[in-house]
Structure 1
Amino acid sequence: MIVSNSLRQEVVNELEFLQSMGTKIFLYPFIGKKFPEMIGYFITYILVLCTAVQLALTLFSFSTKDWLEIINVAPNLGVVIMTVIKYTKIQIHKELYDEIFNHFRDDMWNIVGQNSTEHKRIIKKYKWITVMINRFLLYYSILLTIVVNSFPYLVMLYESKANGVTGEYLYPFDGWYPFDKVKWYTVAYIWESCMTAVVVCVYGFSNMIHASYIIFICMELRILGNCLEEILSPENIVDISEGLNVDLIHSSVTRKLKIIIAKHEFLAKRSAKLNAALGDAMLLNYSLGAVFICLTAFTFMVVDNLYKSVRYFFMFASLLVEIFNQCFIGQVLSDHSENLTNDVYFSNWPNASPEAKKIMLMLMMRTQKPFKLSGNGYFDMNMDTFGSICSTSYQLFNLLRTIYL
């Protein structure tokens, strides 16, 4: 039995929204890109890579005493490198992303009961969560792009109006150029504005698609858990106790369990592959996150320049949001996979056949190893990791404050 078409269509609409967003940065369709789309992908990739090289040259051009300028460039360089990694990984693992996309669009729905109120409630809940997260990331990315690109010009305009003279030339990320960037200020500003928009779009979309996939995996895990809880209905138990249709009921339970195990196996393998695809970015996030959060937080509190204070504050907030996002979705994924063990235990397994009990025991053993996101296996991305990053950042912040204040 299949869930109502309207509810299914709502989930498909959200997947198509991701598809539409991805097409704009040449990452969709994952399979069978046309030649112009591949050209667009390579041009975007080269532009982002050039921005990373530009920021690296900018960083190396400063002396070790210019710690404020180094702090200004290093987080931007880290974000661009992570953008290159995410953009590349999605393209390299396009078969995986396409397979997960098609699974939630077509293959998942054969386990959803048409008359199951609980299944409908679960789907509505997780679809709503997905929509809220995606719209937040979308509008946050738009707002961040507007602020980063317009704020330097607005500050310059304000200083010119207030003081009557043109002050320091300001840029979105203030990169190094092989020419006089003051003389070619308009060209440099347009370049940095465009590349800021590209980086934010790629970064925001990668977060949207990964968060959506993780939430939909959690949704299916919750549906599987509900199927286990209701594997034997009260009517089935009464019939078994009275010796009515026993073989038919046990056969039906065994068949349902095999379907559930197959679905769980699919989710386990795809989650592991998704974890491998995200591993490099998460390792970089963990390795540099605490340092960058500390440096940007310290800097926006100590500088006496309004523009730089606001700039570093937005850097600090963006880094914190990014690391929290990865740790949170990792925690949610682990919690949902672990909860499946409880669903097996609290099902009506005492009334099942010996074969069904063996299958349930096998499933319970599999669920003992939860799904997870990790930094290439070195650490798990969860709320404990987020707490560790924040704690390390605070300790480094106190150290810097003791040294410089």
Structure 2
Amino acid sequence: MRLFKVVSNSLCLITVEAHSFGATSDANMSNNQLRNEILLELAFLQSVGSKIFLGPFINGNKLRMVGYYITCILMMCTITQLSFTLITDGSKDWLEIINIAPNLGVIIMAYIKYTRSHAYKELYEEIFYHFKDGMWNIVARQSQEHQKIVKSYKWMVMAINRFLVFYTIPLTLIVDSFPYLFMVYNNKMHGVTDEYLYPYDAWYPFNKVKWYAAAYIWESFMTAIVIAVFVILDVMHTSYIGFICMELKLLGNCLEEILSPDNVVAILEDRNAREVHRTVVNKLKIIISKHIFLAKITSKLDKVLGDAMLLNYSLGAIFICLTAFTFTVVDVTYKRIRYFLMFMSLVIEIFNQCLLGQVLNDHSKNLTEAIYFSDWSYASPEAKKLMLMFMMRTQKQFRLTGKGYIVMNMNSFSSICSSSYQFYNLLRTIYK
């Protein structure tokens, strides 16, 4: 009978250990699967970056560097071409300034974003490898909440990226083919034979009617490049901001659960209280170091995006106003459609940057609140001191700005829209 009890207890112990090992194994598999999914998204990011010669960010081959410099030269040629068009045509008719200025502003912003991203390629590489390797020591293996956070943010970033990338293909085809198709339609349906339409209608040192095919191919090619630069850089920045927000959310959850109910009971009953306090302090130090790193890379990203964001804020209202005014005033159907599409693209681009800034600021702000929800009153004096210092650090929230002058958030977007509407009314009054 005694032997039976010993065997029975041993079997129960083996069963419990097997279940525990199985649960740990399942948690490890789940974490590894989530990490692999994030790695796949980072690989996708690197793949689309290579399409405009920005990925891998460092240690790229010579052919990739040649492609980057050729792209820069082509964009500079287009900027020069549109600048000359603005001078020559704008001096004849002020309405032509309205037609040309938005195109010139868009390609200047694309050039600035492109060159700044290349200049800070070490930063992009550092962020890339942080989310590949450095972030995962704060993800608890058996935490369902952590897995839920990683999974939700991964799906959100992936959905936005896929939409932006696959939206680019039909957008480029429509923008490049629409002038020619509209010209053919007018020729077939209305017998118009002396109309020549182009994607952005710039000046050339030769007769562009005689060399219509060459001019059209050049403008279509450069339009595709500018769209690709805008969209792919938006994909990269959206991914990085999304993953930064994901890590801030994980840090907030770690703070809320830094003292579990079992830890509180152990402290109150003085069971291994010293060990619990030591563990809490070590966790706090890891959380603070992660937050310091995120603050550093966010500050550097703000410098990278600052020039383009300042241009977006200062000139965005003007360009939105000009494109809205053009498509409501001109009588040519083609120009109405073209400038309406440009108007919508400008609004979406500015909205995207303001939304990214707002989301980043909100996640940074929520980290301060997470400290209040933790059981900090049971922590040791050292842990309380660290929490207080960390709370003071989190008062300086993460922001995206236009060179430090303008904070990019939804209030800024509202201000841009309001200014655009006022400029639009002024132009309509002057025109009438």
Shorter-chain TM-score above 0.5:
yes
Instruction: Report the equivalent of 2:375.
Output: 348
Q: How far is 1:276 from its partner?
A: 0.6
Task: State the match for 1:61 in structure 2.
Answer: 88
C-alpha separation between the residues in 1 aligned to 2:307 and 2:191? 49
Q: What TM-score, normalized to structure 2?
A: 0.92
Give deviations 1:226-277, integer Å, cap 9, x for gaps: 0000000001101111111100100000000000000000000000000011
Q: Name the residue aligned to 2:424.
A: 397
8 Å Cα contact 2:149/2:249 also seen in 1 = yes
Matches within 5 A, 1:4-403: 4-64=31-91, 66-403=93-430
State the Cα deviation string for residues 67-123 of structure 1 (Å, max 9, x = none): 332222111111111111111111110000000001001110110011111111111
Cα distance in structure 1, aligned partners of 2:318 and 2:381? 56
Which amino acid in structure 1 is aligned with residue 44 of structure 2?
A: F
Cα distance in 2 for partners of 1:49, 1:186 equals: 22
* 1:298-337 alpha-carbon deviations (Å, 9 max, x no partner): 2111222210110010110000000000000001001100
Which amino acid is 2:210 matched to? K
Separation in structure 1 between the aligned mates of residue 375 and residue 170 of structure 2, nearest angstrom: 51
Deviation at 1:403, TM superposition (A): 2.2
Deviation at 1:137, TM superposition (A): 1.6
Kept after mapping to 1: 8 A contact 2:360/2:398: yes
Extract unaligned runs of 5+ from structure 2: 1-26
> How large is the RMSD of aligned CA atoms in angstroms?
1.2
Question: For residues 172 and 253 of structure 2, what CA distance do their matches in structure 1 show?
Answer: 42
State the structure with more CA Rg. Answer: 2
Aligned residues: 405
How far off is 1:165 after superposition? 3.6
What letter is aligned with 1:38?
M
Q: Which amino acid aligns with 1:187?
A: A
Contact 1:149–1:172 at 8 Å: present in 2 too? yes
Alpha-carbon distance in structure 2 between the residues aligned to 1:239 and 1:65: 83
Q: Is the 8 A contact 1:156 1:167 kept in 2?
A: no
Secondary structure (helix, strand or coil) at the match of 1:193 reads: helix
Name the amino acid aligned to 2:88: S
Offset at residue 24 of structure 1 (A) = 1.3
8 Å Cα contact 2:357/2:408 also seen in 1: yes
Check the 8 A contact 1:159/1:167 in 2, yes or no: no
Matching residue's letter, 1:221: L
Preserved CA contact (<8 Å) 1:229 1:347: yes
**Unaligned residue ranges in structure 1 (runs of 5+):** none
Q: CA deviation at 1:64?
A: 4.0
Equivalent pair of 2:99/2:326 in contact (CA under 8 Å): no
Secondary structure of 1:335's partner? helix
Listed one character per residue, the Cα deviations across residues 371-395 of structure 1 (whole Å, up to 9, x for unaligned) are: 0000001110000000000000111
- Return the TM-score normalized by structure 1: 0.98
Aligned letter for 1:6? Q
Shifted more, 159-168 versus 261-270: the winner is 159-168
Q: Is the 8 A contact 1:303 1:309 kept in 2?
A: yes
Paired with 1:273 and 1:373, the residues of 2 have a C-alpha distance of 10
Question: 2:102, 2:322 within 8 Å by CA — same for their partners in 1?
Answer: no
The 8 Å contact of residues 222 and 336 in structure 1, kept in 2 or not, is answered as yes
Deviation at 1:136, TM superposition (A): 2.1
- 8 Å CA contact 2:251–2:287 kept in 1: the answer is yes
Deviation for aligned residue 1:14? 1.0
Output the CA distance in 1 between the equivalents of 2:137 and 2:93. 61
Report if the CA contact (8 A) 1:153-1:170 is conserved.
yes
Classify the secondary structure of the residue corresponding to 1:333. Answer: helix
Distance in 1 (CA, whole Å) between partners of 2:153 and 2:320 is 31
1:140 Cα deviation (Å)?
Answer: 2.7
Give the distance between the partners of 2:62 and 2:253, measured in 1 at CA.
Answer: 45
Q: Deviations over 1:324-378 (max 9, x none)?
A: 0000000100110011000012111000000000000011000000000000011
